[in-house]
Amino acid sequence: MKSKYIACIFFILLVIFSIYSYAETKEAQSAVSTTQESGDTMVELLARLINGEARGESYLGQVAVGAVIMNRVKSPLFPNTIAGVIYQKGQFSSIQDGQFNVSIEEGSTVYNAAQDAMNGVDPTNGALYFYNPSKTKSKYLFSLTTVTTIGKHVFARAE
Amino acid sequence: MKEKCKKIAVIILIAILIVVGILCIMLYKKYRTQKQLAEDGYNRAMYDFVASVNNVKNELAKLKVSSNDAYNITTIASVFAKSNAAKANLDLLPFSVENIKNVSMFLTQLSDFSYILMRSVLNGDSIDNYKENIDSIYEKITELSNVTEEIYKDLNASNIKWNELEKVGEEKFKNTNLDEETSSASKIGKTFTDYEGIIYDGAFSNHILDLKPQYLNGKDLSNTEVENIVREKMDVESIEFIEEQNGMLPLYVYRIKLKNIDTIKTVYVTKQDGKIYQIISNREVKNKNIDIEKAKEIALEYINSLGVENIKDTYYLTKDNTVTISFAAVQEDVLVYTDLIKVKVALDNGEILGFEANGYIYNHKERNIEYSKSVDEARSTLYGDLKIESERLCIIPTDAKDEVITYEFKGTVGENTFLVYINANTLSQEKIYIVLETEGGMMTI
């Protein structure tokens, strides 16, 4: 009778672990499949950030997010590369919460928006910051001079 | 029966407890490994950062006593490389952006300064003219070096943890005085950005040479006055004022519906003089009915209709049945690469989807065009095997945020196409680009 119990426990353990390990491999797979090959890695990187931060926004709002990244690359205060700016510690919520890895939907405008931003289009008039006022508590961000508001995002400059 | 239920419940409970326990241990182990990996990365970046700052300090110390120009050049080159390395490593560390601002700015300026200094010394300028600058930079880098070493020692002695670094940065870096007037131009933008592959619109995209827009000379206009200008220049059906934008450049923003066109356009007009600065719109373009040449004509006509003459197309980039064409100003047959306007045209019906005149508005002015060397003289300085396809006079921006008149030679060596720029006064070689013909257009590196 006792051995039956132990067998039972082992069986349940086995089932739970196989579910766990399946979930793990699944997660690893999904992380890989979003990294699709594209002609230009820089456009791809920028498009993914726009997708993570602003896919629900208007086209203007999407270009604006891309423009902030490009303005940072050009600014002496921030890293010199697009990857450097995007992955700078604690700068973009989509990097931290995994939204950056969400795959880009068919027919999405984020690639066009990324390309426009790279070509120098800038609806933010030189902004270096953007934030969603309902989602941030940062005093620093609120202290900045607002340039414009597009959709849910406030675009700002430091004096 | 009740007894059996109870037993099953106990079995399941035990199983769950074991699983939860094991999972906790596994997750904790995983967390520890991940944390260690992250900290290893930080440690390495911190070590490299401290070492680079120290290297810069030592190289500058050498520069202070060295009297040999050939030796100086390699030393300055090392300052350039190490200041870039320091900045790259600083950006990897978990400091908050606000706290490292002055450090980041200082390192960028140091990189710009050393590059320009390198070129000056190579062109025969004596390093003695820069002694004062070097002394002042040396003082600041010494201070920075002390602060970074302090932080690193504290980290090593476990007096502070990586997750406390944000606060430490605030205490230590924020109060470090690093304001440096070595290159005031850095306030406009940095000389070195890793743009590889994205300079589609030609060699000299978006070089802003001055903080004051050269093209604007008149007075600030009211919203109504600017709206009237827009109505004059565009076939407006309805116009809605959105806002006055006080960013880099004071602008009025409008949402405009043009006659016979469905796409709503956001139009940015300069407050001063009322010049069209930027137009943004987007729609899916399914077909391609017109070719690039026709698109160029349409774009040029559009620019002329806004009152800008003497402009020539240079590069273009196609994407999803749209084309973005770059135009540069022309004065006395000299192409002025800094004065750029970009126009995005839909290739189905030729609609103007986008317009951007940042480069033109900031840089355009009447130039004093003077040069002393002929194209033959310039050509004779080129690498012998370069098969020249075209040549022309043009004004290009320099790394020192200045501009210079050059002969541009486009030519090939083997499979590679190059653009070589030879100074039309001194015959020194100013720039070389590699031209890449891609599916979408021409890129330069």
Q: How large is the average pLDDT for residues B120-138?
A: 85
In tens, the pLDDT along B328-353 reads 999 999 999 889 999 999 999 999 99
B200 touches chain A (CB under 8 A): yes
**Confidence (pLDDT) at B175:** 66
- Judged by DSSP in three states, A33 sits in helix
**Confidence (pLDDT) at A74:** 83
- Judged by DSSP in three states, A157 sits in strand
**Confidence (pLDDT) at A147:** 93
A56 touches chain B (CB under 8 A): no
* Percentage of residues in chain B having pLDDT higher than 70: 89
**Confidence (pLDDT) at A5:** 73
Residue B427: pLDDT band (50, 70, 90) is very high
A17:B19 CB<8 A: yes
Which residue did the predictor score with more confidence, B304 or B202?
Answer: B304
**Confidence (pLDDT) at A35:** 38
A122:B354 CB<8 A: no
Q: How far is A73 from chain B (nearest CA, A)?
A: 7
Which residue did the predictor score with more confidence, A90 or B167?
Answer: A90
Q: How far is B114 from chain A (nearest CA, A)?
A: 15
Q: How far is A28 from chain B (nearest CA, A)?
A: 15
* Residues in A touching B284 (Cβ below 8 Å): 107
Number of CB pairs, chain A paired with chain B, less than 8 A apart: 150
B94 touches chain A (CB under 8 A): yes
**Confidence (pLDDT) at B120:** 84
pLDDT, mean over chain B: 85
A60:B105 CB<8 A: no
A124 touches chain B (CB under 8 A): yes
Q: Is the pLDDT of residue B289 over 90?
A: yes
Q: Is the pLDDT of residue B384 over 90?
A: no
Q: Is the pLDDT of residue B149 over 60?
A: yes
A116:B344 CB<8 A: yes
A136 touches chain B (CB under 8 A): no
B194:A125 CB<8 A: no
* Residue B134: C-alpha distances to residues B49, B74, B105, B120, B190 (Å): 21, 16, 17, 14, 20
Q: How many whole angstroms separate alpha carbon B201 and alpha carbon A75?
A: 20
Which two tokens mark B425?
Answer: 């006064």
Nearest CA in chain A to B196: A42
Q: How large is the average pLDDT for residues A30-55?
A: 70
Nearest CA in chain A to B87: A79
A119:B342 CB<8 A: yes
In tens, the pLDDT along B37-87 reads 888 888 888 889 999 999 999 999 998 888 788 888 999 999 999 999 999
**Confidence (pLDDT) at B65:** 86
* Percentage of residues in chain B having pLDDT higher than 90: 48
* Residues in B touching A89 (Cβ below 8 Å): 92-95
Q: How far is A102 from chain B (nearest CA, A)?
A: 22
Residue B444: pLDDT band (50, 70, 90) is low
Q: Is the pLDDT of residue B196 over 80?
A: no
**Confidence (pLDDT) at B202:** 45
A16 touches chain B (CB under 8 A): yes
Q: Is the pLDDT of residue B200 over 70?
A: no
Which residue did the predictor score with more confidence, A132 or B181?
Answer: A132
Quick one: B387 exposed, middle or buried, by C-beta within 10 A (0-12, 13-18, 19+)?
exposed
Q: How far is A25 from chain B (nearest CA, A)?
A: 15
Nearest CA in chain A to B93: A89
Nearest CA in chain B to A78: B104
**Confidence (pLDDT) at B210:** 63
Determine which of A18-32, B290-304, B351-365, B379-393 has the lowest per-residue pLDDT on average: A18-32
Q: How large is the average pLDDT for residues A15-27?
A: 71
Which residue did the predictor score with more confidence, A81 or B189?
Answer: A81
**Confidence (pLDDT) at A37:** 37
ipTM of predicted complex: 0.81
- Judged by DSSP in three states, A145 sits in strand
A20 touches chain B (CB under 8 A): yes
Residue B304: pLDDT band (50, 70, 90) is very high
Nearest CA in chain B to A40: B197
**Confidence (pLDDT) at A102:** 85
Interface test with A, best of B8, B101, B170, B248 (most A CBs within 10 A): B248
DSSP state of A78: S
**Confidence (pLDDT) at B194:** 47
Which residue did the predictor score with more confidence, B189 or B288?
Answer: B288
**Confidence (pLDDT) at B148:** 87
Q: Is the pLDDT of residue B207 over 90?
A: no
B93 touches chain A (CB under 8 A): yes
A124:B247 CB<8 A: yes
Q: Is the pLDDT of residue B130 over 80?
A: yes
**Confidence (pLDDT) at B187:** 43
Nearest CA in chain A to B356: A121
* Residues in B touching A91 (Cβ below 8 Å): 97
Nearest CA in chain B to A121: B356
Which residue did the predictor score with more confidence, A27 or B431?
Answer: B431
Q: Is the pLDDT of residue A139 over 80?
A: yes
Place of tokens 């480069």: B359
* Percentage of residues in chain A having pLDDT higher than 90: 35
B25 touches chain A (CB under 8 A): no
pLDDT, mean over chain A: 83
A112:B319 CB<8 A: yes
**Confidence (pLDDT) at B95:** 83
In tens, the pLDDT along B74-111 reads 999 999 999 999 999 998 888 888 788 888 888 888 88
A109 touches chain B (CB under 8 A): yes
Residue B3: pLDDT band (50, 70, 90) is confident
